[in-house]
Amino acid sequence: MDYTKYIEIVPNKRFGKPCIKGTRIAVHDVLTWLSNGMTNEEIISDFEELDENMILACLAFAADKNHKLKSN
C-alpha cells in the first residue's frame, strides 16, 4: 500500500506527528485504538471521516522502517 496518499506530516499540526490527510487524527491514535481492541468498523463508526484504506495506511506506515514522508 502507498500510505503517502493518506498520511502527511505537517510541522504545525499535532506537533509534527504523522496524521491522516485532511484530519487531525494521528497515526498513533489509530494504532492505539486498534491495539486496545477496536475493530476497523468501530473506528470508522466513531470517526466518519476515516475509511478502511486510511486505517490500512496507518498500519503500513507503522510497518515501514524507512518512512517515505517528509515534513511539508
- Give me the average pLDDT of each 10-residue run along the chain (72 residues): 94 95 97 98 98 98 83 62
Q: Given this model, what pLDDT does residue 65 score?
A: 81
State residue 26's pLDDT score. Answer: 98
What is the pLDDT, as a whole number, of residue 23?
96
Q: What angle do CA 30, 19, 6 make, to 5 degrees?
A: 90
Angle at 45 between CA 18 and CA 17, to 5 degrees: 10
Q: What is the pLDDT of residue 71?
A: 66
pTM greater than 0.85 (yes/no): yes
